[in-house]
Structure 1
Amino acid sequence: MSKPRKEIHLAAHFPGVNNTTVWSDPEAGSHIEFESFRHFAQTAERAKFDFLFLAEGLRLREQGGQIYDLDVVGRPDTFAVLAALSGVTERLGLAGTINSTFNEPFEVARQFATLDHLSAGRAAWNVVTSWDAFTGENFRRGGFLAEADRYARAERFMRAAWTLFDSWRGDEIVADKASGQFLATPRPGQFTVKDDHFDITGHFPVPRSPQGRPVIFQAGDSDEGREFAAATADAIFSRHGTLEAGQAFYADVKGRLARYGRTPESLKVLPAATFVLGDTDADAREKAAIVRRQQVSGQTAIKLLEQVWNRDLSSYDPDGPLPEVDPQVSADHIARGRASVRMNRDPLAVAKQWRELAVAKGLSIRDLMIEVSARQTFVGSPSTVAQSIDDLVQADASDGFILVPHITPGGLDAFADTVVPLLQERGAFRTEYRGSTLREHLGLSAAR
């Protein structure tokens, strides 16, 4: 018996401040003006996407004691942007990244419950933790938590928020003296949370929202992160977008669900994906090569190399060879607030690997940085990209993709106009929304 055909889930990630965004293109626009957010969101909704996704950075990144040159356009508040977008969209889900290390459950629960009401059931929360003291300096608590402690706090934070969301009682029947009728009135209930991380009690001020609880996203890739997702998340934001890596990740996280009494359908796996479209596959490959060089300028190449070498390399020629000097291994790092620093935990091994690659392919510093950092998941004509997406989803490498265009705000337009209709013709993607809430878009059951 053949396996039932899966329906693809698609979402759009508003490009943040990073070196994947092409700033030099004449079509590039603002990352903070509301018109950019409106255009992007309405394009995603026109294409019948599940949701729009906003990342968040809690501190501007630094390198060599100066603000990183790709981090100066501003980072507006997530809730303010999503609340505004709820007024110019009708069905599109609204997903925001909110940190569990430095925030408090009461405040975050109140904000998400409010957003879910304002949007009529379209709110989602990407729960993240913070790993560095540099970010913590913006907050009264300061400092940072060890990885295991971060996820322990995140799980307690999540369950505290759930307690608040669920604290309102079911409708209470009350007699209305004026009309003589009996009316159903929701009533706030008492909540109490006491554990190693939180000690709060009171009455939650926001009634139970249309979804009951927002859809929960998680993006951690460590073993602790995967386990946290299996226990608590509705969807996981993955970085494994290729067939073999995607299938391995998919099988791993789905295989953890049974121990929490969950079915494979209760957790959606959605890798981030970039794309470059052309009239033909050859045309798209030519465009992709141009985009990669736009994404990694000579200046950016040196900055990226410094994040591994942990040295000032500004005197080096980006079109020249890699430095002969080895990376400097130190707890005090030249780049602060950059996830790539954390991911390159063995800089000497990375340097050795990169040197071998540069020699084998005759790569300059800039060429190497393009090779190792600039990736496009889908490159081809609309028909090629549509087939690639469908093949990966049907092969259980993912349940869909969160698309990250390299141009803001119009980078999603061509995908919506050319690839989406082909996926719809295949019967792999909806032609109309069948529900009004994000849970319905994702095929998730009501919040427990």
Structure 2
Amino acid sequence: MKLGAFLMAPGHHPASWRHPSAAADLGANFKEYVKLAKAAESAKFDLLFLDDTVAVKDTSKDVGARLSRSAFFEPFTLLSGLAAVTERIGLVGTVSTTFNEPYNLARKFASLDLISSGRAGWNVVTSNNEEEAANFSSQKHLAHEKRYERAEEFMDVVLGLWHSFEDDAFLYDKSSGIYFQHDKMHVLDHSGQHYSVRGPLNVARSPQGHTVVVQAGASEPGRELAARTAEIVFAAQNSMEEARAFYSDMKGRVAKYGRTEDDMLILPGVLPIPGRTRAEAEDKFAELQQLIDLKVAISQLSHMIGNFDLSAFPPDGPLPEIPEANGNKSRQQLLVGMARRENLSIAELARRTAGGRGHWLVVGTASDIADQMEERFKGGAADGFNVLPATLPGGLEDFISMVVPELQRRGLFRTDYEGATLREHLGLKRPIAPWRQ
């Protein structure tokens, strides 16, 4: 079982920052991030995972001032700092293809990969909220399909640039004066519909070949992009049936791109609330739920359901008809389906989804949580999990002290690292460069 630690500041529950034990200032506290990274590494997690958005989603006094996700570190900067204080754990950052250029992104991740000795991963996303577009001279986002069309070409350019130099290209031979072997440099010369990039990348090849590619989109275009390029797929399904169906679908798509099922790992998100007893775990969750501001929960739901403002509708009334999202289509379908199926009001859906933000929420003892993780892992629904601590540092500490030992006792999770690079942790093969095929 592979495990990621998704360190969203200051925790995944929207009221996490209000909890007495929470590091409310985590988004501006590097020293606290260092403690979290070292704790996850001591527990032998495969990777740390950082999300990102390039906007403050709500600037209003009424709601925005109550949102904890208003200020946090830029992923490259934070991960570069964490690379210097860790040795083995993988470092995965989210960076959008929508508001970046392929060359700059390829260069930054290649540099992080070298700084960390082969532990970098890129979570590929296309931006999905209008607040981000407004920060980049755009009034509105490109249509969903157009964003993924650009993302496909963006990925081709980045992957091509990462193969600019062969492993042994650089000689640094002082006596001969040869810095690198010219015949082991490969110029990309890409010219496409959206990008024209000559190359080569001015960064040497990584110890793991190139940065591990992660993808989180579950729409049809997102699934196809993942099937062709992703080595990890971060997913969000609540039921076993949904998780198994997604797993089967994704694994079934890779063959047409010349890949095997082992070339791609599916790591669904899980938000665990562990306790020494079930009652203690339920009390922990209830305490967090009581701290939720309903306006904040509805604002979060509005973003998740397709950036559709629900604040104008009666909170005790039913979910209105929601126009098709130009953002996260799969999350919209999940939430609308839940509301219709269970006849939930806007307030009920907002509170229900606030805790896990649409992800799988598991409340119980370490044994309860391990049972359900094992069921999905062995039942063809997951290759591991991206763990979403409800609060930080407490939620991660509880999972490490309670659930990790139980998984290890069952032989489901490692007791020590066996490799040095992120690829080695995950059992992923080193990529074959185009010039060797």
The aligned residue for residue 54 of structure 2 is 58
Matched, 1:290 2:279: no
**Which residue in the other structure is 2:309 paired with?**
310
1:43-87 CA distances to partner (integer Å, 9 max, x unpaired)?
111110000000001111027697723156412211000000001
Contact 2:251 2:264 in 1 (8 A): yes
CA drift at 1:266 = 0.9
Q: Pick from 190, 196, 199 the counterpart of residue 196 of structure 2.
A: 199
TM-score, normalization by structure 1: 0.83
SS at structure 2 position matched to 1:377:
strand
Cα distance change on mapping 1:20 and 1:132 into 2, 3 Å: closer
Residues 385-394 or 437-446, more deviating = 385-394
Q: Which amino acid counterpart does residue 7 of structure 2 have in structure 1?
A: F
Q: Which moved more, 1:365-374 or 1:149-158?
A: 365-374
Aligned-partner SS, 2:106:
helix
Structure 1 unaligned regions, length at least 5? 1-7, 359-364
1:302-356 deviations in Å (ceiling 9; x for gaps)? 5457767836559x7xxxx7259x859789x9xxx99699827998x998777x4
> How many pairs are equivalent?
421
Equivalence for 1:371: 352
Query: Please, which of 26, 31, 50 is the counterpart of residue 31 of structure 1?
Result: 26
2:332 to 323, 334, 343: 343
| Counterpart residue type for residue 105 of structure 2 | V
In the alignment, what sits opposite 2:430?
Answer: 446
Distance 2:216 2:362 in 1: 21
**Structure 2 CA distance, aligned partners of 1:328 and 1:292?**
27
Alignment of 1:175-190 (within 5 A): 178=175, 188-190=185-187
Q: Give me the whole-angstrom Cα distance separating, in 1, the residues matched to 2:365 and 2:133.
A: 45
- Residue 153 (structure 1) shift: 1.0
The answer to whether the 8 Å contact 1:221/1:238 transfers is yes
Kindly indicate whether residue 14 of structure 2 is the aligned counterpart of residue 14 of structure 1.
no
Give 1:250's match in structure 2, choosing from 240, 247, 259.
247
Aligned with 1:162: secondary structure?
helix
Structure 2 equivalent of residue 95 of structure 1: 92
Could you tell me how far 1:417 is from its partner in structure 2? 1.6
The corresponding residue for 2:219 is: 222
Q: Does 1:421 align with 2:402?
A: no
Shift of the 140–134 alpha-carbon distance from structure 1 to 2, 3 Å rule, reads same
Over the aligned positions, Cα root-mean-square deviation in angstroms equals 3.4
- Tell me the TM-score normalized by structure 2: 0.85
Change over 3 Å in CA distance of 1:76–1:434 after alignment to 2: same
Percent of aligned pairs with the same amino acid: 36
Distance 1:185 1:42, change over 3 A: farther
Task: Give the Å deviation of 1:280.
Answer: 1.5
Q: Which has the larger radius of gyration?
A: 1
Task: Say yes or no: does 1:392 pair with 2:376.
Answer: yes
Larger deviation: 201-210 or 110-119?
A: 201-210
Equivalent residue runs for 1:56-205 within 5 Å = 56-62=52-58, 68=64, 69-71=66-68, 73-140=70-137, 143-171=140-168, 178=175, 188-205=185-202
Q: Which digits, 9 at most, give the CA deviation of each residue in 1:284-312, with x for residues without a partner?
A: 22322332333x22342454577678365
2:350 is aligned with what amino acid? M
- Structure 1 residues 234, 280: CA separation in 2 closer, same or farther (over 3 Å shift)? same
**Contact persistence 2:271–2:387 (CA under 8 A):** yes
